[in-house]
Amino acid sequence: MLKKGLFVFDILFAIILIFLAGLSYLSYERIERMRQLAESVNHANLVKLSVNQAILHTIAAESWERGYLLTRDTTFLINAEQNLSKIDSVTKVAIHLTADNPKQQKEVKHLAKKLLTRKEILEQIHKGDTVGIKTEKRLKSIIADGRVVLDSSRASLAKILATENNLLGVRIKMKNQAGLFTPILVLVSSIIGILLVIFAYLKMRTETNLRRNAQISEAESRKMQLQIAELNASLEAKVDERTRELQDKNIALGNMNDELLSFNYVASHDLQEPLRKIQAFSNRIIDSDNTLSEKTADHLSRINAAALRMQSLLEALISYSRASNADADFILTDLNKTLDEVKADLHEMLAEKQVEIVNDGMPELKVIPMQVHQLFQNVIANSVKYAKPGIPLKINIKTDKINASQNKKLLHLPYQNYWQISFADNGIGFEPIYEDKIFELFQRLHGKNEFGGTGIGLAICRKIAQNHNGYITAEGRPDNGATFFIYFPA
């Protein structure tokens, strides 16, 4: 940008310099032309003046000569001689002035010759007494010849003056035209020069402002670079600190996973073993001792039922902890086959409740097969649990491919397109306010005496959906059934 500005300045300066040089030359040429025209006008006037002076000196000499002849006063004779002496000098001036015009110079020389003849005649009259003019008749003849010569000289003078007047008229016209054109030319050239200077000034001012702005921008850029460098250093420190925190949390999570594995082991072996013994011994007492009172038998039955619920709860917790593991391999799986396997596992329950499952077809996806099996099983078991008494349960399964923008609950997820698999039943439904609550751990919408279960099944479903970068939600209306929506990345 700076080099381009300097190049423009160089070009502009060269244009202005060339224009001013041209303007100076043009002004000089016009002034020189006017001077030459003025000199040519003066030259014509000088030619006219010199030939007029020659004639005037001749006429004056003749007049003084005539006065001398009449009065014999030598004063007249002296004046006549002075005028005669000037004729040669002025005719020489006229001949010199007409050197640029041979034709006119020829006429001037012809006039000079006639005036010389007239001068000689006057000198003869002046010297008449001594050179042989003896009679008055002879004198009159000489005077008559002189008059003829003078008249002829006047005719030549008129011709010379006419030529000079023509030249003078042409030269005056040319001078006037030059005098009219020159100021206009100088004015226009001056205006153009002023405009160029103004343009150059504005251009220079613009470039100066641009350069100043560039310098300001550069200074601000350097300042921002320093700020960015400081910010980077601060961010690096924060990133390092955050990295250390994450490392600490990873270590803590690793420890928690180890503890969770230990818990799974304890829950699956150590905790369940006492429960199995409680159930076994309580059953033996009930079966072997017929003398138990009705109240004691009831207490033992309650103990046995409580132990069974505790065992179910432990198994559910183990399932939940296993569902939290997202490190298993993802395998391309036909979800229709997975559904068939679930139906086979729940065959007795489905037959007892007269459940009809209608599937319009699901895709093949990369999933963790065991977890998706658990997901489908829990959703179907939940529908069976909350079926309307005396009414056959029907579950419709539909699959659609949607964009995340179509469901605001998917906007926080990392993918744009999802498979939506819906499980719609005709069970007892639930209030809309519980759409999210039912997926929380240990949350139940009914008492344990109304419907069985541990309150963990749907929480496991949400955990499995999260493991697959998906989501699960539900919609329900009391007595109008419920629909569970499962989303997998497409």
Q: Render pLDDT for 201-213 as a digit per residue (tens, 0 to 9).
A: 787 788 788 888 8
SS3 letters across 303-367: HHHHHHHHHHHHHHHHHHHHHCCCCCCCEEEEHHHHHHHHHHHCHHHHHHCCCEEEECCCCEEEE
What pLDDT, on the 0 to 100 scale, is given for residue 439?
A: 85
Q: Which two tokens stand for residue 10?
A: 């160089």
The better pLDDT of the pair 70, 467 is held by 467
Contact (CB, 8 A) for 380 and 484: no
Sheet of strand 356-359: strand arrangement:
356-359, 394-403, 417-425, 482-489, 471-476
What pLDDT, on the 0 to 100 scale, is given for residue 6?
A: 62
Per CATH, domain 2-209 is 1.20.1420: yes
The rounded distance, in Å, linking the Cα atoms of 393 and 355 is: 5
What pLDDT, on the 0 to 100 scale, is given for residue 444?
A: 62
What pLDDT, on the 0 to 100 scale, is given for residue 130?
A: 42
Q: Which two tokens stand for residue 226?
A: 């320093």
For 441, list phi and psi in degrees, rounded to 5.
Answer: -70, 130
Is the pLDDT confidence value at 353 over 70?
A: yes
For 357, list phi and psi in degrees, rounded to 5.
Answer: -110, 120
The rounded distance, in Å, linking the Cα atoms of 231 and 242 is: 16
Please give the model's pTM, rounded to 2 decimal places: 0.45
H or E element at residue 488: strand 482-489
The fold adopted by the segment(s) 326-489 is Heat Shock Protein 90 (3.30.565)
Q: What is the mean pLDDT of residues 217-229?
A: 86
Is the pLDDT confidence value at 131 over 50?
A: no
The rounded distance, in Å, linking the Cα atoms of 58 and 153 is: 10
- Quick one: pLDDT band at residue 273, thresholds 50, 70, 90? low
Question: CA-CA distances (angstroms) from residue 121 to 68, 79, 85, 151, 319?
Answer: 15, 16, 14, 14, 162
Beta strand pairing call for 394-403 and 356-359: parallel
Residue 405 DSSP class: G
The rounded distance, in Å, linking the Cα atoms of 170 and 164 is: 10
- Quick one: pLDDT band at residue 179, thresholds 50, 70, 90? low
Q: Which two tokens stand for residue 42?
A: 């003066």
Question: CA-CA distances (angstroms) from residue 127 to 131, 146, 262, 266?
Answer: 6, 15, 170, 175
The rounded distance, in Å, linking the Cα atoms of 452 and 461 is: 18
Within 10 Å of residue 405's Cβ, how many Cβ atoms?
9
Mean confidence (pLDDT) of the chain: 76
Q: Where are the domains of the chain?
A: 2-209, 271-323, 326-489
Closest CA to 215 of 434, 440, 1: 1
Q: What is the mean pLDDT of residues 105-124?
A: 70
Length of the chain: 490
